[in-house]
A and B are shown apart, each in its own frame.
Chain A
Amino acid sequence: MSEVSPTRRDVLATSAAASAITLLFESPARAAGDNAIRPFRINVPEARLVDLRRRIAATQWPETETVADQSQGVQLATIQELARYWERDYDWRKVEAKLNALPQFITEIDGLDIHFIHVRSKHDNALPLIVTHGWPGSVIEQLKIIDPLSNPTAHGASASDAFHVVIPSMPGYGFSGKPTSPGWGPERMGRAWAELMKRLGYPRYVAQGGDWGAFVVDQMGLQAPAGLLAIHTNMPATVPADVDKALQVGAPPPVGLSAEERRAYEELIKTFKQVDYARIMGSRPQTLYGIADSPVGLAAWLLDHNDADGQPAAAVASALNRTTSATGELTRDEVLDNITLYWLTNTGVSASRLYWEYKGGFFNAKGVTIPVAVTVFPGEQYQAPRSWTERAYPRLIHYNKVDRGGHFAAWEQPELFSAELRAAFRSVRQPS
Chain B
Amino acid sequence: MDAIRTEDIDHQRRQLLGTATVGIVAAGAISLLPSQLAAAPDDAIRPFRINVPEADLVDLRRRIAATRWPDQETVKDQSQGTPLARLQELVRYWGTDYDWRKIEARLNALPQFVTTIDGVDIHYIHVRSKHPNALPLIVTHGWPGSVIEQLKIIDPLTNPTAHRGQAEDAFDVVVPSLPGYGFSGKPTGTGWDPDRIARAWAEVMKRLGYTRYVAQGGDWGTPISSAMARQGAAGLLGIHINLPATVPPEVAAALAGGPLPTDLSDKERAVVEALMTSGKNGNLAYFTIMTARPQTVGYGATDSPAGLAAWVLVHPGFAQWRYGADHNQSPTRDDVLDNITLYWLTNTATSAARLYWENGARGSVIVAAAQRTAEISLPVAITVFPEDVYRPPETWARRAYRNLSYFNEVDKGGHFAAWEQPGLFSAELRAAFRPLRHTN
- Please tell me if A274 contacts chain B, counting CB pairs below 8 Å: yes
- B282-309 interface (Cβ within 8 A of A): 282-286, 288-289, 291-304, 306-309
In the bound assembly, the distance between CA atoms of A180 and B75 in angstroms comes to 8
Question: Are the C-beta atoms of B307 and A276 separated by less than 8 Å?
Answer: no
What 1/0 mask marks residues of chain B from 183 to 202 whose CB sits below 8 Å from any chain A CB? Answer: 00011111000000000000
Interface residue stretch chosen among A129-137, A200-208, A215-223, A346-354: A346-354
**Complex partner residue of A289 from B28, B189, B306, CB under 8 angstroms:** B306
Pick from A74, A279, A350: contact of B299, CB under 8 Å: A74
For B87, list chain A residues within 8 Å (CB): 289
Does B9 make an interface contact (CB < 8 A)?
no
- CA of A65 to CA of B354 in the docked complex: distance in angstroms? 9
Contact call A74/B281, Cβ cutoff below 8 A: no
Please indicate which of the listed interface residues A79, A181, A285, A348 has the most CB atoms of chain B within 10 Å of its own CB.
A285
Contact with B along A284-295 (1 / 0, CB 8 A): 111111111110
- In B301-335, the 8 Å CB interface with A consists of 301-304, 306-311, 313-314
Say whether A298 faces chain B, with CB atoms less than 8 Å apart: yes
Report chain B residues within 8 Å CB of A73.
292-298
Taking a contact as CB atoms closer than 8 A, the residue among B81, B190, B349 that contacts A285 in the complex is B81
Which stretch of A29-37, A55-63, A149-157 is in the interface?
A55-63
Residues on the B chain within 8 Å of A271, using CB: none
Given contacts A66-B187, A290-B301, A293-B304, contact A283 B285 (CB under 8 A): yes
Which has the most chain A C-beta neighbours within 10 Å: B83, B282, B311, B314? B282
Interface presence of A430 (CB below 8 A): no
Q: How far is the CA of A61 from the CA of B187 in the complex (A)?
A: 16
Would you call B256 and A19 a contact (CB within 8 A)?
no
A182 proximal to B (CB < 8 A): yes
Cβ A297 vs Cβ B74 within 8 A:
no
Contacts of B284 in A (CB 8 A): 279
Q: Is B308 a contact partner of A290 (Cβ separation < 8 A)? A: yes
Closest Cβ of chain A: how far from B298's Cβ, in Å? 5
Of B65-73, B237-245, B432-440, the one contacting chain A is B65-73
Interface check B167, CB cutoff 8 A: no
**Is the C-beta of A377 less than 8 angstroms from some C-beta in chain B?**
no
B258 on the interface (CB 8 Å rule)? yes
**Contact B294–A72 (Cβ < 8 Å):** yes
Pick the residue among A60, A180, A276, A348 that contacts B291 (CB under 8 A). A276
Is the CB of A15 closer than 8 A to any CB of chain B? no
Contact partners of A279 in chain B: CB under 8 A:
282, 284-285, 288-289
State whether the Cβ of A178 lies closer than 8 Å to any Cβ in chain B.
yes
Docked CA distance A249–B259 (Å):
11
Complex Cα–Cα for A62 and B293 (A): 14
Contacting residues, chain B, for A71 (C-beta < 8 A): 357
Q: Is the CB of A292 within 8 A of B70?
A: yes
One digit per residue, 1 when the CB lies within 8 angstroms of any chain B CB and 0 when it does not, for chain A 311-348 equals: 10000000000000000000000000000000000101
B285 and A61 form a contact (CB under 8 A)? no
Known contacts A292-B68, A298-B300; A180/B74 CB under 8 A: yes
Residues 255 to 305 of chain A near chain B (Cβ within 8 Å): 273-274, 276-277, 279-280, 282-294, 296-301, 303-304
Q: In the complex, which of the residues A277, A290, A350 contacts B300, with contact meaning CB atoms closer than 8 Å?
A: A290
Contact with B along A181-196 (1 / 0, CB 8 A): 1100000000000000
Docked-complex contact A284 and B81, CB < 8 angstroms: yes
CA distance A287 to B297 in the complex (A): 11
Cα(A226)–Cα(B294), bound, Å? 47
Chain A residues with a Cβ closer than 8 Å to the other chain, count? 62
Do B69 and A289 have beta carbons less than 8 Å apart? yes
Does the CB pair B282–A289 fall under 8 Å?
no
- B27: nearest chain-A partner, CB-CB: A63
Shortest CB distance A208–B (Å): 28
Partner of A249, one of B256, B285, B297: B256
Contacts of B63 in A (CB 8 A): 58, 60
* Distance, CA A140 to CA B149, complexed state (A): 47
Please pick, from A282, A290, A292, the residue contacting B285 in the complex, using a CB distance under 8 A. A282
Which of A279, A291, A292 has the most chain B CB atoms inside 10 A of its CB?
A292
Indicate which residue in A60, A74, A276, A287 contacts B303 across the interface (CB closer than 8 Å): A60
- Nearest A-chain residue to B189, judged by Cβ: A66
Name B253's closest neighbour in chain A (CB-CB). A249
CB pair B71 A350 closer than 8 Å: yes
* B289 adjacent to A297 (CB under 8 Å): no
* Contact residues of B between 324 and 364, Cβ < 8 Å to A: 347, 349-351, 354, 357
Write the nearest CB–CB distance from A188 to chain B, whole angstroms.
13
Chain B residues with CB under 8 A of A353: 74, 80
Residues in chain A near residue B292, CB distance under 8 A: 73, 273-274, 276
Q: Establish whether residues A72 and B314, one from each chain, have CB atoms under 8 Å apart when the complex forms.
A: no
Asked whether A293 lies within 8 Å of B282 as measured between CB atoms, the reply is no
User: 4 closest Cβ contacts across the A-B interface?
Assistant: A283-B282, A290-B300, A290-B307, A297-B300
Task: Provide a sorted-by-A list of 29 A–B residue pairs whose CB atoms are within 8 angstroms.
Answer: A55-B66, A59-B303, A66-B189, A66-B190, A66-B354, A71-B357, A72-B294, A73-B295, A75-B295, A180-B71, A273-B292, A280-B297, A283-B281, A284-B285, A286-B80, A286-B81, A286-B82, A287-B310, A289-B306, A290-B307, A290-B308, A296-B299, A297-B300, A297-B302, A299-B299, A300-B295, A304-B293, A346-B68, A348-B70
A-to-B contact residues, CB < 8 Å: 19-20, 55, 58-67, 71-76, 79, 178-182, 248-250, 273-274, 276-277, 279-280, 282-294, 296-301, 303-304, 311, 346, 348-350, 353, 356
